Amino acid sequence: MTASSHPMLNVAVRAARAAGAIINRAALDIESVRIKQKQVNDFVTEVDAAAEQAIIETILEAYPNHGIWAEESGTSQGNKFSDHIWIIDPLDGTTNFIHGFPVYCVSIALQIKGKVDHAVVFDPTRNDLFYATRGRGAYLNDRRIRVSKRETLAQSLISTGFPFRPGDNFSAYMAMMSDIMTKTAGLRRPGAAALDLAYVAAGYTEGFFETGLMPWDMAAGSLLVTEAGGLIGNFTGEANYLEQKECMAANPKIYAQMVGLLGKYSKFASAGEKAAVRQAGTLKGAGSEPVADEEAPL
């Protein structure tokens, strides 16, 4: 399968590359980029806005009746009543971008009747194009990708995102990190969730977890993961997670083990599990068993 094998996916690729060109041009002179702060440690630049507009124009030129749900402009453009909704993050990893730290990406997903059917994650610094169509597999630069085959947490590299906004539960995150770090080969914090999910799909990492994510951070990456044979859900293993601000993805064997470690930290954990987390010295208990995801390919 090539990117051009489905016209809607082809439009997504064209839009992502247009945004990537804007981002790469701006990266040549980061010092001149205007930056605004949305809230503490949450930045947006004129590059986010320009990249988002390029994506939306490319999509609406091809599909004027489709809906748009974008990080910066919300649902103000397109037909919000359409069955076809494009979920867009024009620059995931803005903080990395404004420091010149080359880990950021463009994320575009097409949701049809509530299900993500097409997805593109484009890393403009490496010219890496990840894409997937439901039922057709996941690809990186026209090469089929699969999740990692590693079966134990001790062998696994896991990625995450640290809490950084006011109100985030930092102490719970430190406990989660402690549980994961002591049982894995390494924990990484690259700083762009959409790319973290693409890396799980490609088998570069075995798993990923983060709280506080928005749908545009996860929509495209979620299809990449499932089409590459992985699982994605909330910390208790349930597949309905896109608007729950709680995301965990991994290959199937590691996913079950991560649910065992992180399930008790979920806002959907039982009262008893939550009480155990609050008590000092009881952070090593197992969480709930994973809930089977009938839809995700194993």
Q: How confident is the model at residue 272 (pLDDT cuts 50, 70, 90)?
A: low
Spatial contact of 130 and 120, defined as CB atoms under 8 Å apart:
yes
Q: How do residues 240-270 score in pLDDT, each as one tens digit?
A: 778 888 999 999 999 999 999 999 999 887 7
| Cα-to-chain-centroid distance, residue 147 | 15
Q: Tens digits of per-residue pLDDT, 70-97?
A: 999 999 999 999 999 999 999 999 999 9
When divided into structural domains, the chain yields a total of 2
Find the CATH number of the domain harbouring 72. 3.30.540.10
269 lies in some domain: yes
In contact, 138 and 145? CB cutoff 8 Å? yes
Question: In whole numbers, what is the pLDDT of the chain averaged over residues?
Answer: 89
Q: What are phi and psi of 245, to 5 degrees?
A: 55, 35
Structural domain includes residue 224 = yes
d(CA 118, CA 108): 8
Rounded Cα–Cα distance for residues 85 and 196 (Å): 23
**Same-domain pairing of 141 and 18:** yes
**Residue type for 265, please?**
Y
User: DSSP alpha helices (H): ranges in 92-188?
Assistant: 94-99, 170-181
Q: Is the pLDDT of residue 216 over 50?
A: yes
Give yes or no for a contact between 290 and 256, defined as CB atoms under 8 angstroms apart: yes
Q: What tokens appear for 173 in the block?
A: 């995150």
H helix or E strand, kind and range, residue 69: strand 67-70
Provide the whole-model pTM: 0.89
User: Which domain does 17 fall in, by range?
Assistant: 3-145
Mean pLDDT, rounded, for 23-41: 88
Verify that 200 and 108 share a domain, yes or no: no
Number of residues that make up the chain: 298
Distance between CA atoms of residues 186 and 209, nearest Å? 13
Residue 189 pLDDT > 60: yes
Domain end marker among 122, 145, 168: 145
Give pLDDT, residue 81.
96
At residue 52, does pLDDT exceed 50?
Answer: yes
Verify that 83 and 195 share a domain, yes or no. Answer: no
- Provide the pLDDT for residue 94: 94
The residue from 112, 128, 145 where one domain ends is 145
**Which pLDDT score is estimated for 22?**
97
- For 139, 263, 278, 287, the CA distances from 282, given in Å and listed in that order, are 42, 14, 8, 12
Q: Pairing state of beta strands 143-145 and 157-160?
A: unpaired
